[in-house]
Structure 1
Amino acid sequence: MARDLRGFIQQLEQRGQLRRIQALVDPELEIAEIANRLLQAGGPALLFENVKGSAYPVAINLMGTVERVCMAMNMEKPEELETLGKKLALLYQPRPPKKISQAVELGKALFDVIRAKPDRDLFPPCHQVVLKDDAVDLTKLPLLRVYPGDADKVVTLGLMITKDPETKIPNVGVYRLQLQSKNTMTVQWLSVRGPTRHLRKAAEMGKKLEVAIALGVDPLIIMAAATPLPVDLSEWLFAGIYGGSGVHLAKCKTVDLEVPAASEIVLEGTITPGETGVDGPAGDHMGYYGGVNEKAPLLHFHCMTHRKDPIYLTTFSGRPPKEDAMMAIALNRVYTPILRQQVPEIIDFFLPMEGLSYKVAVISIEKTYPGQARRAALAFWSALPQFNYTKFVIVVDKDINIRDPRQVVWAITSKVDPARDVFILPNNPFDSLDFATEKPGLGSRMGIDATTKISPESDRPWSETLKPDPDTAALCDRRWAEYGLADLKLDEVNPNLFGYDMK
């Protein structure tokens, strides 16, 4: 099966995970409302085939469940993602092997890198139709307006490709773009991201920054673009490692950049340093409208290429659950081995979807010395780039199930003295979209040590944790059917029994 968007849509349809909508729908609010209702219910992916004002169908909610995210990454279960993470950890910070088995593992990982080297297509599908200059009209794309207070229509799932003007190493990321005119858009990005460095370097060199936006790519490539990488490694290479074979790339028509050859639509253009537009407001992942940025970089597009009868792939942000939250849950598994390599005492970690998938982290450690929880929290914040914006880090003992909010809350309430176990780091670079901070782009972090205290952290001896009698527990296991309770599945706990309203 082809490694492209169409192949993934076909796979979803074969598994009964896709619905085709033939009724006429409006990209102005209506598509997002339909998709959001299905996202909330864990419903199928959608392909709108009759979109008002455009000849292109719209695909949305393709990765709206963790199951479908795993499918996009050629895996059946989330647990398999940790195996991938272990492979990436070897490449993220390679260390000299101390044993033969470690050398073999590193050798296999390096072979995977060789196998993942990108290929080039001379006659790529994305060049089947070429439009230049005045023929470029972004208003013909079925761009969504998601929320009534949005300033204009947006692109939310396009890969932005730029290149470092000095090293020529490309950067691939996913950023929100807002329509400004038939051939211009503004971009919303964070100051620490790769394209901002490229734009600063281009300004110093007195050059324009070339940009390509690839729309409708293999979802696996989107996942690779969302993975934190060292600045000198290519997302194309990691996408090939994810997929087991190299990504097919194509040279752009008018800029010195490469894009996935099977992209449905490609926009080519430039950013002139210092040329800006007014961006926002727009609904964002925090669950609020993002503010107005009067100095957002302005992109001019002078070329658009696309496949015959292209499909427009999109998504939207907002209060979870949304597609980006499902992607983050899957990436959580990939991050874990990388994080363990950076911070060895971490046993496991979890980014709850309800915490916007990165604002709250729960990590478990095997505690062996006083102050270790604080050290682990501080190391976590510096381990990967996106953890700079994590506001709260909760550290618990290894016997706490960090994915069970009842156990985490119990650990906090039973093991934390706020004056001793809570520490705050003020004035850190922060997400400007976080309205809880006093100043845009500057905020504080909180660490919570919810581990069992050892001397000299506390002079009070800890009482023994309550546990059932093991012999009685085994007896009940043996007699469970005899009690007439065999039909009860105790591993499927109804959260409403514990006061959670899931509606």
Structure 2
Amino acid sequence: MHQRSLPPFPSLGSFLSFLNEKSEIRTASAPISMHLEVTELHRKIIEKGGPALRLDHALHEQGRAATFPVITNLFGTRQRVAWGLGTDPEGLASLGELLAWMQSPKPPRDLRQAWSLLPAARNALHARPRAAAPPREWREAEPDLSQLPVQTCWPEDAGPLITWGVVVTRPPGDDNFELYNLGVYRMQVLGRDSAIMRWLPMRGGAKHHRQWQAQGLDCPAAVVIGADPAILLSAVMPAPETISELALAGVLSSQRVDMAPCAHIPLHAPASAEILLEGTVSTSKTALEGPFGDHTGYYNAPEHYPVFTLKGMRIRERASYLTTFTGRAPDEPSVLGATLLDVFKPLLRQLIPEILDIWLPPEACSYRIAVISIAKRYPGQARRVMLAFWALLPQFSMTKMLIVVDDDIDIRSWDDVMWALATRMDPVRDLMLLDRTPIDHLDFASPLDGLGGKAGFDATRKIGTETSRDWGRTIQPDRDVERRINQRWHEFFPEQMPK
């Protein structure tokens, strides 16, 4: 069973020190504007698989110097995402197996298996967050958003945007950590003490907001900008609703999450926060948000969302301001999505056992298209997998196109996938269309806002009642001949060897 292989990172600073030891962070001392310039620098660095960046002389849009160093591209490579999860890229699958076990634990069959499950049991204990005193490193600051070096990412953006804020909410009633939600929602800064909270209706924060609205009260919300990597990553992982983000953070860090009381709202927040914004999200006041450049590669249309009012602000000594940009891949969210999918696969296979592998092509906006491989056993199995996948998680309900292939297809090779589509699919028989299903609000191709179609492509070999024809045999080279030619390659091309 999975065990964390790296030392704990109790804060963002400790993780940055680790990255420095690995030569995975670069400090830039030249002045750079948070208005467009940071996005362009970040974009060029992430395209090359470059390091995290610490910008010591960031400039506000008006040209004044920022009082915080700015961190960006923190999770810009698969390696750094894995390190943030406490492991290396090879350990992502075993971490996923642990999460799958936690979702549906099974009793051990014998003493040996019981012994092997001890790390999992310890991790389950770490999943319980605990109340703690506010850190001594926190200091009360004037509640003024203009202190923050907030980034403007794209030329036609409506304004500066808090892009890496982990928003903490809870439902009305008892302050129960098990009911907390952590989510990353972008926030358009309107003024010194107000911003727009853009959360979609299916998100956990929006659900809590509706519950407070039903009681006629504004929703308390804490916004954490910068924290230990387990908190940051748990807020963006596609975890089932039965596993809270705080529990997930405890499992990732192998230690219980300390939650400190807020000073101005009835809420607790992670004690590892670098910058903590305390406030309320109005249940009656909205403002027009956007347009902003988004992961689709387009500017989204302006929409009304509720207004966040800042009540208090606390800042850690020597705090860093964490930021990123969102745009057409490659960007940081696309790297996170591709890496975290490997963690989620064991749970996905537990819930849909037919699935052998899945790929969300980054160039398809991370989740708009999914390619799934199965070991087909019965007619109609591909369609069953499609319907189960769309219903599994809110994120997957946004997937517009599913391509299901057999286990002999390399799902990460468009050559293989296109060959399967061209030779194993009949457009009339094997295309499943669904109408008026939930779709990303940012999808301009959908005919209605938030409602659109889905297409499932069954590119598997047809068996049983799926066809009345004999299926063709796939051409395969003679393995002995293939091996013999490889061994004799130098006889034909003395200066070249087979790739």
Deviation at residue 118 of structure 1 after TM alignment: 2.8
CA contact (8 A) 2:36 2:152 kept: yes
Could you say if the C-alpha distance between residues 98 and 426 of structure 1 is closer, same or farther in structure 2, counting changes exceeding 3 Å? farther
What residue in structure 2 maps to residue 494 of structure 1?
none
What residue in structure 2 maps to residue 122 of structure 1?
133
What residue in structure 2 maps to residue 187 of structure 1?
197
Could you say if the C-alpha distance between residues 264 and 385 of structure 1 is closer, same or farther in structure 2, counting changes exceeding 3 Å? same
Matched residues in 1 for 2:365 and 2:372: separation?
A: 16
What residue in structure 2 maps to residue 223 of structure 1?
233
What residue in structure 1 maps to residue 356 of structure 2?
347
Could you say if the C-alpha distance between residues 367 and 99 of structure 1 is closer, same or farther in structure 2, counting changes exceeding 3 Å? farther
Matched residues in 1 for 2:53 and 2:10: separation?
A: 19
Name the aligned partner's letter for residue 444 of structure 1: G
Deviation at residue 59 of structure 1 after TM alignment: 0.5
Question: Structure 1: which 5+ runs fail to align?
Answer: 491-503
Could you say if the C-alpha distance between residues 487 and 190 of structure 1 is closer, same or farther in structure 2, counting changes exceeding 3 Å? farther
What residue in structure 2 maps to residue 61 of structure 1?
73
Q: Please list, as runs of the form range in 1=range in 2, the aligned pairs for 1:89-238 lying within 5 A after superposition.
A: 89-94=100-105, 108-125=119-136, 127=138, 129-131=139-141, 135-166=142-173, 168=176, 169-238=179-248
Matched residues in 2 for 1:435 and 1:415: separation?
A: 31
Q: Please list, as runs of the form range in 1=range in 2, the aligned pairs for 1:59-458 lying within 5 A after superposition.
A: 59-77=71-89, 79-94=90-105, 108-125=119-136, 127=138, 129-131=139-141, 135-166=142-173, 168=176, 169-293=179-303, 295-458=304-467
TM-score of the two chains, using structure 1 as the length reference? 0.92
CA contact (8 A) 1:480 1:486 kept: no
Matched residues in 2 for 1:4 and 1:485: separation?
A: 56
Matched residues in 2 for 1:477 and 1:465: separation?
A: 22
Q: Please list, as runs of the form range in 1=range in 2, the aligned pairs for 1:473-492 lying within 5 A after superposition.
A: 473-480=482-489, 488=497, 490=499
Name the aligned partner's letter for residue 224 of structure 2: A
What residue in structure 2 maps to residue 24 of structure 1?
31
Point out the more displaced range, 473-482 or 296-305: 473-482
Deviation at residue 351 of structure 1 after TM alignment: 1.0
Task: Kindly provide the CA deviation profile for residues 11-35 of structure 1, in whole angstroms up to 9, marking residues without a partner as x.
Answer: 2222222111111111111111111
Deviation at residue 485 of structure 1 after TM alignment: 6.7
Could you say if the C-alpha distance between residues 424 and 48 of structure 1 is closer, same or farther in structure 2, counting changes exceeding 3 Å? same
CA contact (8 A) 1:126 1:264 kept: no
Name the aligned partner's letter for residue 86 of structure 1: E
Which of residues 5, 25, 40 in structure 2 aligns to 1:33?
Answer: 40
Could you say if the C-alpha distance between residues 101 and 185 of structure 1 is closer, same or farther in structure 2, counting changes exceeding 3 Å? farther
Matched residues in 1 for 2:468 and 2:137: separation?
A: 68
CA contact (8 A) 1:126 1:305 kept: no
Matched residues in 2 for 1:485 and 1:239: separation?
A: 56
Matched residue SS, 1:385: coil
Could you say if the C-alpha distance between residues 95 and 420 of structure 1 is closer, same or farther in structure 2, counting changes exceeding 3 Å? farther
Could you say if the C-alpha distance between residues 202 and 106 of structure 1 is closer, same or farther in structure 2, counting changes exceeding 3 Å? farther
Matched residues in 2 for 1:486 and 1:119: separation?
A: 65
Name the aligned partner's letter for residue 84 of structure 2: A
Aligned residues: CA RMSD: 2.0
Deviation at residue 203 of structure 1 after TM alignment: 1.1
Deviation at residue 93 of structure 1 after TM alignment: 3.7
Name the aligned partner's letter for residue 462 of structure 1: W
Deviation at residue 463 of structure 1 after TM alignment: 1.6
Task: Kindly provide the CA deviation profile for residues 385-411 of structure 1, in whole angstroms up to 9, marking residues without a partner as x.
Answer: 210100011100011111122111111
Name the aligned partner's letter for residue 94 of structure 2: T
Which of residues 468, 480, 485 in structure 2 aligns to 1:459?
Answer: 468
Name the aligned partner's letter for residue 307 of structure 2: L
CA contact (8 A) 1:125 1:306 kept: no
Name the aligned partner's letter for residue 40 of structure 1: E
Point out the more displaced range, 226-235 or 18-27: 226-235
TM-score of the two chains, using structure 2 as the length reference? 0.92
Deviation at residue 208 of structure 1 after TM alignment: 1.6
Deviation at residue 430 of structure 1 after TM alignment: 1.5
Matched residue SS, 2:68: coil
Matched residue SS, 1:402: coil
Name the aligned partner's letter for residue 191 of structure 2: S
Deviation at residue 442 of structure 1 after TM alignment: 0.4
Task: Kindly provide the CA deviation profile for residues 114-165 of structure 1, in whole angstroms up to 9, marking residues without a partner as x.
Answer: 13433444241552x102xxx3110110000010100010011111000011
Could you say if the C-alpha distance between residues 353 and 430 of structure 1 is closer, same or farther in structure 2, counting changes exceeding 3 Å? same
Deviation at residue 429 of structure 1 after TM alignment: 1.6
Which of residues 9, 17, 34 in structure 2 aligns to 1:10?
Answer: 17
Name the aligned partner's letter for residue 267 of structure 1: L
Name the aligned partner's letter for residue 155 of structure 2: P
Matched residues in 1 for 2:117 and 2:418: separation?
A: 40
Matched residue SS, 1:364: strand
Matched residues in 2 for 1:318 and 1:210: separation?
A: 30
Matched residues in 2 for 1:101 and 1:402: separation?
A: 37
CA contact (8 A) 2:163 2:186 kept: yes
Deviation at residue 256 of structure 1 after TM alignment: 2.3
CA contact (8 A) 1:325 1:353 kept: yes
Could you say if the C-alpha distance between residues 24 and 353 of structure 1 is closer, same or farther in structure 2, counting changes exceeding 3 Å? same
Name the aligned partner's letter for residue 422 of structure 2: T
CA contact (8 A) 1:118 1:246 kept: yes
Matched residue SS, 1:283: coil
CA contact (8 A) 1:286 1:356 kept: yes
CA contact (8 A) 2:489 2:497 kept: no
Deviation at residue 362 of structure 1 after TM alignment: 0.7
CA contact (8 A) 2:68 2:319 kept: yes
Matched residue SS, 1:420: coil
Matched residues in 1 for 2:398 and 2:223: separation?
A: 26
Aligned length: 484
